[in-house]
Amino acid sequence: MGDNYNIDNTQAGAIGKNASAVNTIFNNNESKQLHAEFLALLKYLSEARRDAEQEKDLGLVHEAALAAQRNEPGKVKKILQATGKWVGEAVKELGLGLLKKLIFNE
């Protein structure tokens, strides 16, 4: 007889023997907060950008925002961590907690 798991009225990232979940975003409120943080960051970066490298980073932030909309948190994190230092500094300056966690592994 195998293992038995009854999951009702809850969210689960991983269930069962040797199960694991990495970089999951479940909570609808968290998704709304992340969306709001992306909007704030994109506005800030759009107004502040000055050179080709920053243009590239702005594109990456747009790409990460789209991945977040598709609920692909691993991809969001990977893309954000590929951006330049100025993106991380902007996230800290703006106090964007969820994005800060994704960029700095907090």
How confident is the model over 87-102, as pLDDT tens digits? Answer: 999 999 999 999 999 9
Least confident of 13-17, 44-48, 56-60, 68-72: 13-17
What is the extent of the structural domain holding 86? 28-104
Residue 94 tokens read as 């703006």
At 21 the pLDDT is: 52
pLDDT tens profile 72-86: 888 999 999 999 999
- Give the residue with greater pLDDT, 74 vs 50: 74
Overall pTM surpassing 0.95 (yes/no): no
41: number of Cβ within 10 Å: 21
Per-residue confidence (pLDDT) for residue 60, from 0 to 100:
97
Is 38 buried (19+), middle (13-18) or exposed (0-12) by CB count in 10 A? buried
Burial (CB count <10 Å: 0-12, 13-18, 19+), residue 6? exposed
Contact 54/45 with Cβ under 8 angstroms? yes
Could you give the number of structural domains in the chain? 1
Amino acid letter, 32: K
